[in-house]
């Protein structure tokens, strides 16, 4: 028992309950941190819960979660919660390979006016559609949204079928199917973020250690 207590005190054993949104996995932030944790703490038990950001934050308050991975720091004015940004992922334009714009060397905002778009509506972010439209407006064009998809990989499948253009995270560039071309739009400011959140009263060494690992994973995609 004394030996077990020492291992728990060092964060070498015990369990972690982690809530996450899909982007935490798609981006590799959570999976990479879990791989590192497994290598350094092989006896740790990990439970993962795919939940919306509001449900995760409530889980932290109820102490049913140790770490939450959310899309934005909602309610983070709560003095009981601590947080840190772990991803700032820029968006890339995805086009069908047969689209006329693929042959153009440099795209301008005016090129995207009037073309058909596929919008990604994230269940965990009720503002995602508004954020997309706002980013387009600031860049100088209005998207003609013809389809809405519930996940970025679904949207990519629709792009491959020639049904429109969409934006995907830079971290998803290796998951692009055949028939899709990705383009940079340096003149457009449109990123997706990921935050790690925890309850400040949760001072277990294992939780503190994993928080530090997530911080080390923090990436600004370039």
Distance separating alpha carbons of residues 211 and 185, to the nearest angstrom: 33
Q: Hey, how many other C-beta atoms are within 10 angstroms of the C-beta on 30?
A: 24
Intrachain domains 2-87+193-220 and 89-191 with the same fold: yes
Fold topology of 89-191: D-Maltodextrin-Binding Protein; domain 2 (3.40.190)
Written as one string, the DSSP assignment of 185-212 is -TT---EEEEEEEEETT---HHHHHHHH
Written as one string, the DSSP assignment of 3-50 is HHHHHHHTTSEEEEEEEE-HHHHHTSHHHHHHHHHHHH-TEEEEEEEE
- What pTM does this model have? 0.80
Q: How far is CA 220 from the centre of its chain?
A: 12
Tens-level pLDDT at each residue, the chain (222 residues) = 444 444 444 445 689 999 999 889 888 899 999 999 999 899 899 999 999 888 999 999 999 999 999 987 655 578 899 999 999 989 999 999 999 999 999 999 999 998 999 999 876 665 678 888 999 999 999 999 999 998 899 999 999 999 999 999 998 898 899 999 999 999 998 888 899 999 999 999 999 999 998 987 665 554
Structure tokens at 102: 């693929």
Determine if residue 162 is left, alpha or beta; phi over 0 gives left, psi from -120 to 50 gives alpha, anything else beta.
left
CATH class of residue range 2-87+193-220: alpha beta
In the chain, where the domains are located: 2-87+193-220, 89-191
């Amino acid at each position: 028992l004394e030996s077990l207590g020492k291992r728990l005190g060092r964060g070498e054993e015990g369990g972690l309950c982690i809530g996450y949104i899909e982007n935490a996995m798609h981006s590799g932030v959570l999976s990479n941190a879990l791989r590192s944790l497994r290598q350094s703490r092989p006896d740790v038990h990990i439970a993962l819960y795919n939940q919306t950001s509001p449900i995760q934050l409530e889980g932290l308050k109820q102490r049913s979660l140790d770490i939450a991975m959310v899309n934005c720091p909602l309610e983070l004015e709560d003095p009981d919660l601590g947080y840190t940004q772990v991803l700032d992922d820029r968006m890339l334009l995805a086009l069908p390979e047969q689209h006329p714009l693929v042959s153009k060397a440099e795209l301008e905002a005016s090129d995207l006016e009037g073309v058909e778009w596929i919008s990604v509506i994230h269940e965990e972010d009720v503002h995602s559609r508004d954020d997309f439209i706002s980013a387009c407006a600031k860049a100088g064009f209005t998207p003609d949204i013809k389809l809405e998809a519930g996940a970025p990989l679904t949207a990519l499948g629709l792009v491959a079928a020639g049904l429109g253009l969409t934006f995907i995270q830079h971290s998803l560039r290796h998951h692009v199917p055949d028939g899709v071309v990705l383009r940079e739009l340096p003149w457009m400011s449109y990123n997706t973020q990921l935050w790690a959140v925890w309850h400040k009263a949760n001072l277990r060494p294992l939780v503190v250690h994993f928080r530090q690992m997530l911080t080390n994973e923090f990436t600004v995609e370039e």
